[in-house]
Structure 1
Amino acid sequence: MHYSNIEAIAVPKFELYGERALLPDVLHCETIADRSSLHGWAIQPHRHERLHQFLHVAEGTAYVKLEDRETTLHGPGVVNVPAGAVHGFRFSPETRGTVVTVPVEALDATIGACPMLATPAVVACEPQLAELFAAVADEFAATRPARTQCLSAMATLIAARVAGGIAPEIGGGDGSPLLRRFEALIEAHYRSHWRVADYAAALKVSTTHLSRVCRAETGAGASRVIELRLMKEARRLLAYSAHPVGRIAVDLGFVDPAYFTRAFTRSAGMTPSAFRARVAEGPAQSHHR
């Protein structure tokens, strides 16, 4: 099943899907059916600016959209949706599961220790993790003493368990502190087209050392890591905005749109216009897990 109706549009930003009010509790917990059954078991692509979500599919099938990738999840499994990540779902009717939504500030320490949580991912659900989701649902519905502290602790445990499932998939552990600082600088400056030398100077290391750490942690050199972040944003804008290619090129810091087209084609294997058309049509096949 594909999201063939996703043309180049602005991605809605919600607190919870369809709602724009601030999250009123330490976290939010609901069943998959609570919200998706009201929308034909489909949640259209959107994102949360300051919320991190964990979606547990206990039984049933979920067709998952994460950024520019689609996959099919046959429960049990868990979807990790970091703040800012574009995501959407289609569920088989009567899918059972739980959605836990946590303000990103509440997970700052955990994400700092487990940076892989910033990666949108689908992971296996071990019995202990399934029990944590059930415990959160039970505590969320209760009015027991220390409810806030219990929910906060369980959210941290869920995040840590999910991080453990993500790490093998992206080929890393906790990651290098230098790499995390490098990635933070990239977020701030990738539109300015900083060179590797600029980042190395800001980090007070040599370009050789920076590239060596990047290659050891990610399999790619520093320049490739920078390019991947820039092209990720290019794909996002092509897929989810109505801006013409020339405007997107300018937004991404390219002085010449033709240079952007060449850079994107070299990275993606197709022109920006061809990529946009392909997104509108839907991918040729889904990846099953």
Structure 2
Amino acid sequence: MVLSGSAVRLTPDGEETIVGPVINWGPKSPDTRVKARAGSHGIIMTLGDATLSNAIGHKPEAAALRLMSAREFTLSLNAKPEISQTITTCFDAIFKELDAGQTGMETVIEAQIRIMLVSLWRAGVNEMIEDQSYKATNLTLERFRHLVEAHLRERWPVHRFAAELDVSPDRLHDICTRTLGKPPQRLIRDRLTFEAQALLQRSHQTLDQIADHLGFCSTSQFSAFFKAEAGVPPGSFRRASTQQGGNAKYTQVGSYADWP
């Protein structure tokens, strides 16, 4: 967010001048740099997948927020002072939480990010990035992703997702493998593993509580699933993550970049 002045966004394909007040949103890339002009003021925030997922939540507007957050856009706030004020207030609240470091800090920060996302959505970002070439296949994948998020803990089988999408299981399999290179069952398992990793790294819940939260019948079933997917038992993953400051070197799966 450029509050005042301007910045230049440099990519391998060229450069984009961003004049404040403005929001620039996009995927983090090692090939992209942002250079602020002298005297300019702004904020840079990097969000991890788990934080973004928690902020989006599972409310009816989640699908639209997820679609918006997956796109790259620049939104001028010149004619939207109320949106600019709301987002600035959210950033202030996030900084206070980071400084205080109190219990529940992550929950409060995620709530502020959700307010930001809804504000951008209301400001018309979805309409701004709408693409008429956005085919039915991608829309089906968006709806599938939304259903996976909403019903992850209910452990729906693939045929249940297909029925909700009004397509055959074979059709859903074809769409996922042709577009993403993974069958729907693999995408569901990756997403469940990613959620388990996030809970093991960020929460203080016991393994029993995490297993129950994710819809497993028992802790042993959860442990067997996690070891098969991540290569190590959940307890070992948690201990290694704690020792390495939350950056376990075990395989991380289920990035939202896997989805359209």
TM-score, length basis structure 1 = 0.47
Cα deviation for residue 118 of structure 1 reads: 4.2
Matches within 5 A, 1:154-169: 155-157=123-125, 160=128
The within-5 A match list for 1:104-253 is 112=64, 115-119=66-70, 129=74, 132=76, 140=84, 155-157=123-125, 160=128, 176-253=138-215
**Do residues 84 (structure 1) and 55 (structure 2) align?**
yes
- Alpha-carbon distance in 1 for matches of 2:122, 2:230: 40
Does the aligned pair in 2 maintain the 1:249–1:260 contact within 8 Å?
yes
The structure with the largest strand share of the pair is 1
Q: 8 Å contact 2:77–2:83 — kept in the other structure? A: no
Q: C-alpha distance in 1, partners of 2:168/2:82?
A: 52
Cα RMSD, aligned residues only:
4.5
Change (3 A) 1:258 1:182: same
Match of 2:226 in 1: 264
Shift of 1:159: 8.5
| Structure 2 residue corresponding to 1:66, chosen from 39, 43, 48 | 48
Change (3 A) 1:245 1:140: closer
Query: Is the 8 Å Cα contact of residues 264 and 270 (structure 1) preserved in structure 2?
Result: yes
Q: Is the 8 A contact 2:56 2:66 kept in 1?
A: no
Residue type of the alignment partner of 1:66: G
1:176 alignment partner, SS class: helix
- 2:8 — aligned with what? none
Output the CA distance in 2 between the equivalents of 1:225 and 1:132: 36
Q: What is the TM-score normalised by the length of structure 2? A: 0.51
Structure 1 residues 192-216: Cα deviation after superposition (integer angstroms, max 9, x where no partner): 2221122223333221111111122
Partner Cα separation in structure 2 for residue 63 and residue 152 of structure 1: 15
Give the structure with the higher percent helix: 2
Contact 1:193 1:253 in 2 (8 A): yes
Query: Do 2:67 and 2:142's aligned partners in 1 also have CA atoms closer than 8 Å?
Result: no
Q: Percent identity?
A: 26
1:18-77 deviations in Å (ceiling 9; x for gaps): xxxxxxxxxxx8859xxxxxxxxxxxxxxxxxxxx96696549968451459xxxxxxxx
Contact 1:249 1:257 in 2 (8 A): yes
**Which residue in the other structure is 2:104 paired with?**
none
1:274-289 equivalent positions in 2, closer than 5 A: 274-280=236-242, 281-282=244-245, 283=247
Q: 1:67·1:85 contact (CA, 8 Å) conserved in 2?
A: no
Q: 2: distance between equivalents of 1:201 and 1:157?
A: 31
- 2:167 is paired with a residue whose SS is coil
Q: CA 1:178 to 1:257, structure 2 compared with 1: closer, same or farther past 3 Å?
A: same
Aligned-residue offset at 1:221: 0.5
Identify unmatched segments of 5+ residues in structure 2: 5-22, 27-33, 37-41, 86-118, 250-260
1:264/1:272 contact within 8 Å kept: yes
Report the count of equivalent residues.
181
Q: Match of 2:55, SS? A: coil
Structure with more contact order per residue of length (Cα contacts < 8 Å, sep ≥ 6): 1
- Maintained 8 Å contact 2:193/2:226: yes
Give 5+ residue unaligned stretches, structure 1: 1-28, 33-52, 70-80, 87-103, 142-150, 165-172
Deviation at 1:249, TM superposition (A): 0.7
Aligned-partner SS, 1:205 = coil
